[in-house]
């Protein structure tokens, strides 16, 4: 990402919305926004294999593994406004487990791009399944979208929930129900 070019564009944006980019409070804003976008879109410059960094280990475990309440922040691709909340990831290993921090890192790799929550949820599940060849994978995300909260319909209490279930989490109602129960969602059939 060319931070100088982005800073120039932000300066132009400030003028277009009626601001004076030379006033004291805005002098460094273009550079700050460019640095923020470099971080917030770092997923475009991140490779999943590098993120996982060979942290896949042989294990005889075949019980469900769940990591709950991973904080997630992303930018809505429609308005470039933040959405944020929690992500819950579960899987049943098939001779391979993954380092626990890698679950959050896989999520961040995709969240640090312009996104829609539905796609983000599916990308996390798909990459985890590919990385370890799990028997099944489940991902649930619960997020607040500022495009709904602070503009548009202005519904401050709205929370969007998405899920992606693969393998046994998709094919077996009992497995799916156990996962949803562990992450605090009702597991109906």
Q: Domain check: are 59 and 34 in the same one?
A: no
pLDDT at 186 (0 to 100): 58
Q: Domain check: are 107 and 131 in the same one?
A: yes
In a domain, 26, yes or no: yes
In a domain, 77, yes or no: yes
Coil vs helix vs strand at 16: helix
- What residues are annotated to the active site? 76-79, 117, 145, 147
Q: Domain check: are 14 and 85 in the same one?
A: no
Domain containing residue 140 = 53-182
pLDDT at 123 (0 to 100): 98
> Could you give the CA distance from residue 45 to residue 37 in angstroms, rounded to a whole number?
12
Q: Domain check: are 155 and 80 in the same one?
A: yes
Coil vs helix vs strand at 70: strand
CATH of the domain at 157: 3.30.1130.10
In a domain, 188, yes or no: no
pLDDT at 61 (0 to 100): 79
Q: Domain check: are 61 and 29 in the same one?
A: no
Q: Domain check: are 33 and 117 in the same one?
A: no
Q: Domain check: are 57 and 149 in the same one?
A: yes
pLDDT at 152 (0 to 100): 87
Average pLDDT of each block of 10 consecutive residues along the chain (189 residues)?
A: 97 98 97 98 96 93 93 97 98 96 98 98 98 97 95 90 98 96 72
Q: Domain check: are 68 and 158 in the same one?
A: yes
pLDDT at 189 (0 to 100): 44
Q: Domain check: are 62 and 32 in the same one?
A: no
pLDDT at 62 (0 to 100): 82
> Could you give the CA distance from residue 38 to residue 108 in angstroms, rounded to a whole number?
14
**Is the Cβ–Cβ distance between 71 and 32 less than 8 Å?**
no
Full-prediction pTM beyond 0.85?
yes
CA trace torsion 73, 88, 99, 109 (10° rounding): -30
> Which has the closest alpha carbon to 87: 67, 101, 115?
67
Q: Domain check: are 36 and 121 in the same one?
A: no
Give the residue carrying structure tokens 């770092």: 42
Q: How many domains does the chain have?
A: 2
In a domain, 134, yes or no: yes
Give the residue carrying structure tokens 């693969």: 166
In a domain, 157, yes or no: yes
Q: Domain check: are 87 and 178 in the same one?
A: yes
Q: Domain check: are 147 and 107 in the same one?
A: yes
CATH of the domain at 27: 1.10.286.10
In a domain, 106, yes or no: yes
**Angle between helical axes of 3-16 and 29-40 (0-180°, round to 10):** 120
């Amino acid at each position: 990402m060319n931070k100088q070019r982005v800073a120039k564009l932000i300066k132009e944006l400030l003028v277009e919305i009626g601001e004076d980019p030379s006033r004291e409070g805005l002098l460094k804003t273009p550079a700050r926004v460019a640095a923020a976008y470099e971080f917030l879109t770092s997923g475009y410059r991140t490779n999943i294999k590098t993120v996982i960094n060979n942290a896949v280990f042989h294990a005889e475990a075949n019980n469900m593994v769940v990591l709950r309440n991973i904080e997630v922040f992303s930018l809505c691709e429609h308005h470039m406004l933040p959405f944020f909340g929690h992500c819950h990831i579960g899987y049943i290993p098939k001779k391979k487990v993954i380092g626990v921090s890698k679950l959050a890192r896989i999520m961040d790799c995709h969240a640090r791009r312009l996104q829609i929550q539905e796609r983000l949820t599916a990308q996390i599940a798909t990459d985890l399944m590919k990385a370890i060849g799990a028997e099944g994978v489940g991902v649930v995300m619960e997020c607040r979208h500022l495009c709904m909260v602070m503009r548009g319909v202005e519904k401050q209490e709205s929370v969007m929930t998405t899920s992606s279930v693969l393998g046994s989490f998709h094919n077996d109602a009992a497995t799916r129900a156990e996962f949803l129960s562990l992450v605090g969602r009702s597991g109906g059939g």
